Amino acid sequence: MSFQSVRTKVGKYELGRTLGEGTFAKVKFAKNLDTGENVAIKVLDKEKVLKHKMAEQIKREISTLKLVKHPNIVQLYEVLGSKTKIYIVLELVTGGELFDRIVHQGRLQEDVARRYFQQLINAVDYCHSRGVYHRDLKPENLLLDAKGNLKISDFGLSALPQQLWADGLLHTTCGTPNYVSPEVINNKGYDGAKADLWSCGVILFVLMAGYLPFDEPNLMMLYKKIYRADFTCPSWFSSGARNLLLRILDPNPTTRITIPEILENEWFKKGYRPATFEEEENINLDDIEAVFNEEQLVTEEKEKKPVTMNAFELISMSQGLNLSALFEQQQGLVKRETRFTSRHPAKEILSKIEEAAKPLGFNIKKHNYKMKLQGEKTGRKGHLSVATEVFEVAPSLFMVELRKAGGDTLEYHKFYKNLSTGIKDIVWKSDVDMEGKHRKSGDASSSRS
């Protein structure tokens, strides 16, 4: 069985599956047809960009990103434009999110956490030296490559969605409040470098503790804790880590430790190897203006053909190009996207998911072999939204992907755990599932047994 879908080619890139969705942008898997290289392409709607008067902001942010070339930052390769879209071509990172490691393991060993923190500080310091400030640093924006090295994603672009907020509170709406510094909450202007460093401190705490230093269900209570830097380090933190955190999470930005001081800190320096790389010269920024001036427009070519999962798309979903990861062998957790395989017909799969989702409080919208589940209740970050799609991998074998399209990641974890109980009859046991490698009885993948 196969079914029809539209494949889109933009210039030299063939667009594939959706990797993620934002307020007004989607990130697509793509293949460079000239070189065979796999990339990620962020697709923005040009009409929305112009409507919200964001053109100059995007030009400035993209220009900066093109100038920031560091091994621990997701690279921006080029920018393309059609009559209706802007395409930002980015490095494809295949190792998943650092957030997933924390959810899975609870906390990391101090040496492991320090290595990620060293890479984070090295990259942030590099960007600050070029006037670039992230403003939304948190584990969900830290990716891992196939070798386990940290990659900061959406550097600089993270401020863009905030333009959509009517209250104008750019400072307080850029990301999760738990990671935001006291001076940003005050909304009286702030030093971008000091604010980013505070977020780095919260990330270090989360990596080593497995939970947030500041976490309250009531937003005002949360802000009060942040204002006072009211947190306690767990007993397993070493004195060196504890002392450094107390200096980073200093609510007074004028006395907060600086990155040059961190680089001289004894705890930080242990095993520290700063990134070595050659800085790129003669970077061309002409393509940024061209996409807005409707010069050098790329064409969008659409072609209908059966959706059979291409090999390069399958490989992109695996960690370290290990295809066994596709079938959940490594997943003692549910990430922001989840996949399983089934031998049941595609329509039956979607019907079963719909049947299991409705009692959980979700409205369903279907279009061909895609389905959108929209939560009726408002959660921590608005309504939970889940995109579902069925792909044909081989005759009578389908891969089903559920992806968080909106809302809170941890609420998505809870949703999938509940949903998996209702769809266990359609999930095919892979050979890896039969091996049952060290799985916890309560996690989402064990519900498939």
DSSP of 328-366: TTT-SS--SEEEEEE-S-HHHHHHHHHHHHGGGTEEEEE
The mean pLDDT of 119-130, rounded to a whole number, is: 90
pLDDT at 444 over 70: no
DSSP for residue 391: E
Degrees (nearest 5) of the Cα angle 147, 153, 158? 170
pLDDT at 289 over 90: no
The mean pLDDT of 265-274, rounded to a whole number, is: 94
pLDDT for the residue 5: 57
For the chain, what is the total number of helices (H) and then of strands (E)?
Answer: 16, 14
What tens digit of pLDDT does each residue of 208-260 get?
A: 999 999 998 888 999 999 999 999 999 999 999 999 999 999 999 999 999 99
* pLDDT bucket at 170, cuts 50 / 70 / 90: very low
Phi-psi region of 438 (alpha: psi -120 to 50; beta: other; left: phi over 0): left
Q: What residues contact 210, with CB distance under 8 A and at least 6 apart?
A: 102, 105, 106, 107
* pLDDT bucket at 317, cuts 50 / 70 / 90: low
Question: Hey, what amino acid is at 157?
Answer: L
Task: Tell me which of 36-50, 133-147, 426-440 is least confident.
Answer: 426-440
User: Closest by alpha carbon to 182, among 281, 252, 91, 110?
Assistant: 252
pLDDT at 331 over 50: no
CA 264 to chain centre: 31
Residues 322-435: name the CATH superfamily. Kinase associated domain 1, KA1 (3.30.310.80)
Tokens 């080593």 — which residue? 208
pLDDT at 171 over 70: no
Higher local confidence (pLDDT), 273 or 83? 273
pLDDT for the residue 262: 97
The reply to whether 322-435 shares the fold of 98-269 is no
pLDDT for the residue 183: 87
For residue 56, count other CB atoms closer than 10 A to its CB: 9
For residue 165, count other CB atoms closer than 10 A to its CB: 13
pLDDT at 37 over 80: yes
What tens digit of pLDDT does each residue of 70-92 get?
A: 899 988 888 888 888 888 899 99
* pLDDT bucket at 294, cuts 50 / 70 / 90: low
What tens digit of pLDDT does each residue of 127-167 get?
A: 888 777 788 888 888 999 988 899 998 765 443 333 323 33
pLDDT at 112 over 60: yes
Residue extents of the structural domains in the chain: 4-93+288-305, 98-269, 322-435
Q: What is the mean pLDDT of the chain?
A: 78
pLDDT for the residue 23: 66
Gap between the terminal Cα atoms of the chain: 26
pLDDT at 283 over 50: yes
For residue 243, count other CB atoms closer than 10 A to its CB: 15
Q: How far apart are CA 57 and CA 99, in angstroms?
A: 28
What residues are annotated to the active site?
136
- Tokens describing residue 230: 């009211």
pLDDT for the residue 316: 53
Judge contact between 107 and 213, C-beta under 8 A: no
Q: How far apart are CA 125 and CA 118, in angstroms?
A: 10
Task: Tell me which of 144-153, 275-284, 390-399 is least confident.
Answer: 275-284
Q: What residues contact 209, with CB distance under 8 A and at least 6 apart?
A: 107, 233, 234, 237
Q: How far apart are CA 122 and CA 129, in angstroms?
A: 11
Judge contact between 111 and 271, C-beta under 8 A: yes
Q: Does 1.10.510.10 match the CATH number of domain 98-269?
A: yes
- Tokens describing residue 377: 């209740």
User: Closest by alpha carbon to 199, among 318, 191, 97?
Assistant: 191
Judge contact between 323 and 314, C-beta under 8 A: yes
pLDDT for the residue 247: 97
Which DSSP helix (H) or strand (E) runs through 259? helix 259-262
Exposed/middle/buried for residue 178 (C-beta within 10 Å: 0-12, 13-18, 19+): middle
pLDDT at 432 over 80: no
- Select from 2.60.40.2550, 3.30.505.10, 3.90.180.10, 3.30.200.20 the CATH code of 4-93+288-305: 3.30.200.20
pLDDT for the residue 114: 97
- Tokens describing residue 327: 């079938």
